[in-house]
Chains A and B, each alone.
Chain A
Amino acid sequence: MLKTLKTTGTAMGLIFAAGAAFAAPNCGANTGEAATGTPIKVGGIHGNAAPGDFSSSTAAAEAYFDCVNANGGINGRPIEYLVENDQWNPELASQAASKLVVDEDVVALVGNGSFVEMSVNSGFYKDQNVMTMAAACAASECFESSNIVSTNQGPLPSSIGAAMYMVEEKGAQNVSCIALTIPNSGPWSCGAAVEYMESKGLSGTGVYLNPASPDVNSGLLEAIASGADTIIVNLPAGLGIAVLKAAEEQGLGDAYQWASSTPLYDRDVPAALGDYWDGKLFVSAEMTPWDKGGEDATNWLAVMDAYGEEKDPRDSFSQAGFLSAKIFVDTLLGMDPADLDDRAKVTDAITAISGYESDLVCGPFYVGEADRHMPNHAGTMVVVKDGGFETVRDCFEYDSPYFAPIFEQEVALGLR
């Protein structure tokens, strides 16, 4: 009898556990019926080639769109999501944008993630009056142009956040920031972190690696030679791990304090880093931690499990891709169905987004008509702990003059 009860109990427990782990995804109109109408074309561009794979954001957007298409689509019309890879090459980035916007006539681009694409195409998007709701932006043009808005923060706020936490909580005096030598990505973001240090009367340096042949050891040595006590790794996940592995081999883990921008907030990173980095590496996460248990965070994991692939990363960029896609779908659902094929009307609808709340970001998401967009500029600090991440500082705003014009926009929109 007891045994039967135990078995039943275990079975029930397993069912509940499974239920929690595989919560049913909730997408779009959530009708449970597949959309069959004329597809709405939406584009997405990611960069996947050496030295980094930025396809996580488009993979998450695709998973969400698949889920929406299986649940009524946009008023019965499915989204046809066309994804291109810029391979970190300006020529290919320009070709990809022309293909999607001119040849395929997409109504918008969603989930873009790249170091290159936005720099080449920001003017083109403006000329074509098409909005790009990016999700893994890593170049200045993402945040300083009229027709691109991203749900992620980009390397500049992310590394300022890391520097700020290390100064305020860990007493960092001299920070060295390691990034790629792409001017409007690495020097742009690490330069801002160095400016932050200098504004506090402290010192900082930027160390830049050649993306074509990144030499992590010499980068590490250059960072150490700068006299830094804290090193901020501001690189794509694969390269970031390589830097930390090289530091581990040289036994530098305890001699310096370590922080990173958001790419290392990836579910697989703690395991890849190993026990050595337990409690040592602080990561500035651009999106809120996935274990916070918010509605969107839970839904994101459920959608990825049901519609994504096992190999798709579960990282900040995946969260951001999901959120971009979700905001986009909610925007389309709020439009007059007759206007869905009209790019100008879709652009207007995206521009009109204001005060969109989600538990995946610390503040409201908005677009508005402006020459720059950076709605997400408050983040969370986590530390690598017990094979996962532990939050050490919840949602906090970054301290830099860079954000002054953004705050002004928020005041104008009544969000601040």
Chain B
Amino acid sequence: MRSTTNTIWAVFGLALILVLPAFAGGQWIKIFTSTTTFAMAAAGAGFLYTRLGMVSLVQVGLMGVGGWVTLRLNHAFNFPFEINLMVAGAVTMFLGNLIALPALRMRGLYLALITLMFAAGLDIVFTAKQFPNGAAGFWGVGTTFAADMRRPLLAQSDAAYLRYTMVWLVIGFVLIELHRRMAPGRAWALIRKSEAAALASGVNVTLYKTWAFGLSGLLAGLGGGLLAGSLGLLDSATFRASESVMLFALVIVGGARFWYGAVIAAVLFRVVPGLLNNWGVDADLSLVIFGAALLHAVMTAPDGLAGQINGAVRALIPGGKTAETKSDKKGAKA
């Protein structure tokens, strides 16, 4: 049963990667590219929350770091885009580990606050130092014309770049799924149930918690690097601490338990304001919509919109009405 659903989703995802860039207009290709990069960060936050119950409010800030590193390397060396992106991911993975270390003793709200403080710190650095635009020096910020951002050889056009970003998102999801199915996944499940039990079973809690934060940081960094490749230059306004909080809230709305919850979160984060802009409505109205959606999720849909979609899909497939489905349906009705 589960494999049927997964196959449906895989076919749907593949179709989307092929069709979406071919038929979307210029503006929507840009919006979908941004959406995809934020989906990577959302996936990181979502998996951290479901697997370990840890709240990371620094995902968008880490995207900024990933973007910074990608831009910096692009302007400093002649490496291919992928190398810059990988290094960016490695840096944010390391930063993720670093945040996790002091956070290990904290749980729940206190852990969330530490990550939020980290995000606020990054916010200040981005505002004060800005993003590299091709000038000399460590910070690489010049006051004249910005240098070119090299895109991947395979993805020079906007449409090809969207496809390229979507492939990276799929790689991100596969990476999370592989972790879930292997040793780290089992360790995380045990830690989530009881840290004491995990310790007693010989699980290295420190290692696996930092590992999880590192993976989440890696995804955010890749997302940030891909965003930098799309725009060519970045602005601190994109990576405010408040954006990290917003993205996390939308992960809850989207549904952290399901991989497509991250996609829904990113769609809410970028497509809804894009739609409002197109309709000539102030995009800030999206904040009101997000607030209402969060209330809805907290009150009636603990698994978010993805949980409700999952329930509906299962109900449609014959023989799929398990106990879990019934509870999901209940949530959907309410």
Q: Could you list which residues of chain A lie within 8 angstroms of chain B, going by C-beta atoms?
A: 85, 87-92, 94-96, 98-99, 101-103, 116, 119-120, 122-123, 140-141, 144-145, 181-184, 187-188, 191, 210-212
Given contacts A89-B235, A92-B277, A212-B127, contact A99 B145 (CB under 8 A): no
**B residues in contact (CB < 8 Å) with A:** 25-27, 29-31, 34, 127-128, 130, 133, 141-146, 148, 158, 230-238, 240, 274, 277, 283
- State the majority secondary structure of interface residues on A: helix
Q: Is the CB of B233 within 8 A of A99?
A: no
Query: Which residue of chain B is the closest to A372 with respect to CB atoms?
Result: B145
Given A98-B26, A140-B145, A212-B240, A184 and B133 contact (CB-CB distance below 8 Å): yes
Instruction: List 22 A-B pairs, Cβ < 8 Å.
Output: A85-B277, A89-B235, A90-B238, A91-B30, A91-B238, A96-B27, A98-B30, A99-B26, A123-B148, A141-B145, A144-B145, A181-B128, A181-B130, A182-B130, A183-B130, A184-B145, A184-B146, A188-B143, A188-B144, A210-B127, A212-B127, A212-B240
> What is the bound-complex CA distance between A88 and B237, given in angstroms?
9
Minimum C-beta distance from B161 to chain A (A): 12
A98 touches which of B128, B145, B158, B233 (Cβ 8 Å): B158
Closest to B130 in A: A183
> Measured between alpha carbons, how far is A175 from B25 in the docked complex, in Å?
49
* Residues on the B chain within 8 Å of A145, using CB: 145
Most chain B beta carbons < 10 A, residue from A85, A96, A99, A119 = A99
Residue numbers in B under 8 Å from A94 (CB-CB): 30, 230-231
Q: How far is the CB of B122 from chain A (nearest CB, A)?
A: 14
Q: A91 and B130 in contact (CB under 8 A), knowing A103-B26, A212-B236?
A: no
A254–B92 Cα gap in the complex (Å)? 52
Alpha-carbon distance between A85 and B283 when the two chains are bound, in angstroms: 11
Chain B nearest CB, measured from A7 CB (Å): 50
Find out whether the CB atom of A183 lies under 8 angstroms from the CB atom of B133.
yes
| CA distance in complex: A101, B158 (Å) | 13
**Distance in Å: Cβ of B275 to nearest Cβ of chain A:** 12
Instruction: Tell me, in angstroms, the Cα distance from A235 to B169 when the chains sit together.
Output: 41
Cβ B27 vs Cβ A103 within 8 A: yes
Check B237–A89 contact: CB distance below 8 A. yes
Which residues of chain B come closer than 8 Å to A184, judged between CB atoms?
Answer: 133, 142-146
With a cutoff of 8 Å between Cβ atoms, the chain A residues found around residue B230 in the complex are 94
> Considering the chains assembled together, what is the distance between the CA atoms of A120 and B141 in angstroms?
15
Q: How far is the CA of A123 from the CA of B145 in the complex (A)?
A: 10
Minimum CB–CB distance from B310 to chain A (whole Å) comes to 30
Please measure, in the bound complex, the distance between the C-alpha atom of A101 and the C-alpha atom of B128, giving whole angstroms: 33
Tell me, rounded to whole Å, the shortest Cβ–Cβ distance linking B75 to chain A: 13
Contacts of A95 in B (CB 8 A): 27, 30-31, 274
Interface-centre pick from B30, B234, B274 (highest chain A CB count, 10 A):
B30
Task: Report the bound CA distance from A182 to B237 in whole Å.
Answer: 11
Contact in complex: A90, B30 (CB < 8 Å): no
CB-CB under 8 A for A120 and B25, given A140-B144, A140-B145, A144-B144: no
Find the B residue at minimum CB distance from A208. B128
Q: In the complex, A98→B30 CA distance in Å?
A: 8
Q: Are B27 and A91 in contact, with the CB atoms below 8 A?
A: no
Question: How many Å lie between the Cα of A91 and that of B233 in the bound state?
Answer: 9
CB proximity of B133 to chain A, nearest CB, Å: 7
Which of B27, B148, B233 lies in contact with A120, CB distance below 8 A?
B233
CA distance A123 to B231 in the complex (A): 11
CB-based contact B146/A141 at 8 Å: yes
User: Which of the residues A85, A116, A123, A140 comes within 8 Å of B143, measured between beta carbons?
Assistant: A140
Note all chain B residues with C-beta closer than 8 A to A85.
Answer: 277
The interface residues of chain B lying within 8 Å CB-to-CB of A102 are 25-27
Contact of B127 among A92, A103, A119, A181 (CB under 8 A): A181
- Contact across chains for A99 and B146 when beta carbons are under 8 A apart: no
